[in-house]
A and B are shown apart, each in its own frame.
Chain A
Amino acid sequence: MNGYLWFVGKRALQLLAVVFFGVSATFFVTHLSPISPVEAALGRMTARSNFAPEAIAAMREALTEMYGVNEPLLSQYVNFWMRLFRGDLGPSLLAFPTPAMDLVMRAMPWTVGLLVLSTIITFIVGNILGGLAGYSQNNKFFKAFGIISMGLQPIPYYIVAFILLIIFGFLWPVLPISGGFAMNVTPGWTWPFISSVLQHAILPSMSLVLVGFGGWFLGMRALVSNVVTEDYVTYAELAGVRRHTIVSGYVMRNALVPQLTALAMTLGGVFSGTVITEQVFNYPGLGSLLIDAVNAGDYSLVLAVSTISVAAVAIAIFVVDLLYPLLDPRVRAE
C-alpha cells in the first residue's frame, strides 16, 4: 500500500507541474502578443455605430481597468492566478455580462460526455477485439478487421467527421447532424430529452470511435501476439488451463498494462479530436465555444477555454494513471 501512496504522490506532483506550466504558457502567449485586448474589444464595439470621441475614451479606460493591462506583467500574472483560483476569468464579450467561466462550465459536460463515451467504447472494444485477433492469428474475420482499421486509423479526425456528415447529412439523411439536442424539447431528466441527446451524440462519437479504434486494435494485436509466445502461456496451455482463462487472465491482462499507459499519453490528442468533431457537428461543447470565441475576438473566453482544457486533460491523465497500479502489482509492491 505504501508503494501505491508513493506512486500517487509522485503523479500528483507531476499533475501540478503540468497545470502550472500549461496555464502559465497560455497566459504568456496571450499577454506577450502585440495585440491589445482593449483595442480589439473597442474596435469590435465601435465598428457598427457612431460614438463621440469622449465616449470612446471612457470605454477605453473602463476596458483597460477591466483587463488590468496597465499594470506590470508580473502583477498581472499573479492576479491571473488569484482570479483563476476564485474561478473568475472576467466577463465574456461574446455574451457580454455573462462570466467566461459560466460559458465554459455550460459547455464542459457536453465535451466530457462525448470524450468519455467515445474513449470507453474505443478502448474496451478495440482492446478486446485486438486481443482476440492476436490470440487467434489465422482467423479470416479478424484479418479483414485489421485491414479495415488500418485503413481508417491514419485519416485525420476532421476528414472522417466530414465524410460522415456528407453520408448522413446529404446522401442518406437519417441522423441529426447538428446541435446537442432537438430544438423542441426542454432540457431535463425526461425520456424525450435523453433520447434526443443520445441521437445527436451518435455521429460525433462515431467519428471519434472510427478514428481511435484502429490504434487500440492494432496495438493490442501486436502486444498479444508477442505475449502468446511467452513460455508461461505455453505452460498454461500444456497444464490444461481453460482457453478463456488464458486469454483474459494471462495474456490480455499483461498486454493491457502498456495499453493503459498509451491511453494516458493519447488523451491530449483525443481531446483535440473531440474539439474538432464538435465544430463539424455544431456540438455545444468546448470546441465550438473556443472557435466562436476566436472568431469573435473574445479575449477572456479564449483564455478561459484554453486554461480549463489544459487543466482538464492533465486531470484526466492523472485519473488514468491512478488505475495503472491496479493492473500492475509491481507498482504497488515497490
Chain B
Amino acid sequence: MFAVLRDLIRYNIEFAIGLVLVGIVVVFASLSFFAPVDPSLIYMTIPDQPPSPQFWFGTNSRGQDMFWQLSAAFRNSLVFGITVAVLSRIISITVGLLSGYVGGWVDRVLMFINDIFVAVPIFPVLVLFYFVLRNNLDSLTLALIMACFGWPFDARLIRSVALGLKHREFTRHATFAGMSTRKILLEEHLPYVMPIVFSTFMNNMLWSIGLEVTLAVLGFTNINNPTIGTVLYWANSHSAMVVGVWWWIVIPVILIVMTFLGLFLLAISMNEYIDPRSRLRRMGA
C-alpha cells in the first residue's frame, strides 16, 4: 500500500499535485473543529473588513469571519461529497458485480434500469425535489437523492470488469468449491474492482459537490447551513462584487478551484495507475 503511494508520488506529478491540493483543503476544513465561533451565527464581528492579520480572509457583510466560515463550509461540503460517493458506490458495486457475474435476464433488467438513469437529466429532478420538500431538504436527504442518480456510469464500468472476471480460472474453482454467489462476489471479485471504485469515488465527489454548489447558489438548499454553495449564495444576495467586498467571492472561488483540481488530478492519476500500459510508459520502461 505504502509502496504504491510512494511510486505514485515519485513517478506521477499529477498525483503529487493533486495530493498536495486536496491535503491543503482537508487540513483547512478540519480546522473548523477548533473554530472559536459557531459558523451559523451572524453579526459576530465587524462586517466588511478586508483581509488583514486579524481576519485572514476578511469578514463578510453578515458579520462573519470568512476564515472560520469557509473552513466550516468546506468541511460540510466534503462530508456531503463523501456521503454521496459512499452511498452511490454501494449501489454501483452491487449492480455492477451482480450484472456482470449473474448475466442473463438479471443483467438485461439491471442494465435497462441503468440506461434509464443515465438518460434522466439530474438537475431538473433535484430542483423538483427542492420544490416539493422546500426547507425539509437537508444535506442528508439531498445526499440520498443524489446517490440514487450517481451510480449508473460506474456500475457499467464495474460490470465490464466483472464480465472478464467471470471466465477466469479462479471463479470456476470457487464455483466448484461450492462458494455462494454472494461470497464469490464479495471475496473473489470485489478486490479486483477496488481500484476503479477508488478512482470513481473522486469523480463522484466532484460531481456531487459541484451539483450541491449549483443548487445552493440558486438558493435551492437549506441556505442557513454553511457549505461552499451557500457562502456564494449569500455573497450574491449581498451583491458582494458590486459593493466591492471582492474577498467574499474571490477567496471561496480560489479554494473551490483548488479542491476540484486536486480531486480531479487524483482521480485521473489513479485511473492511469490502473492501466498498466500507461504506468509503464510513465516509469520509462
Contact = CB atoms under 8 A, between A and B. Distances in A.
Interface string A161-191: 0110010001000000000000000000000
A158 interface: yes
A9 interface: no
A291 B264 contact: no
Interface in B121-146: 121-125, 127-134
Contacts, number: 113
Contacts of A197: none
A294 B206 contact: no
Scoring B128, B130, B133 by chain A CB atoms within 10 A of each residue's CB, the highest score goes to B128
A307 B275 CA distance: 41
Contacts of A35: 132, 134
A159 B115 CA distance: 29
Nearest to B242: A170
A21 B253 contact: no
Interface stretch (B26-34, B177-185, B214-222): B214-222
Nearest to B207: A269
A99 interface: no
Interface in A26-79: 26, 29-30, 33, 35
B96 to A, nearest CB: 16
A279 interface: yes
Contact of B132 (A30, A268, A276): A30
Contact of A158 (B118, B133, B213): B213
Given A26-B125, A30-B128, A294-B220, A159 B257 contact: yes
Given A159-B253, A275-B123, A154 B264 contact: yes
A310 B232 CA distance: 29
A276 B261 contact: no
- B interface secondary structure, majority: helix
Interface in B265-280: 265, 268
A306 B112 contact: no
B127 A294 contact: yes
B256 interface: yes
Top-7 shortest CB links A-B: A272-B123, A154-B264, A156-B210, A33-B132, A268-B121, A154-B260, A306-B124
B45 to A, nearest CB: 26
Contact of B112 (A17, A26, A154): A17
Contacts of B257: 155, 159
Given A25-B125, A294-B127, A310 B120 contact: yes
18 contacts: A17-B112, A21-B116, A25-B125, A153-B264, A155-B260, A155-B261, A158-B210, A166-B249, A265-B118, A272-B123, A291-B218, A302-B128, A302-B131, A305-B124, A306-B128, A309-B124, A310-B124, A314-B119
Given A155-B260, A159-B213, A294-B220, A275 B132 contact: no
Interface of B: 112, 115-116, 118-125, 127-134, 153, 206, 209-211, 213-214, 217-218, 220, 232, 241, 249, 253, 256-257, 260-261, 263-265, 268
B265 to A, nearest CB: 8
Contacts of A290: 124, 127
A268 B120 contact: yes
A170 B243 CA distance: 12
A272 B214 CA distance: 10
A276 B125 CA distance: 13
B256 A159 contact: yes
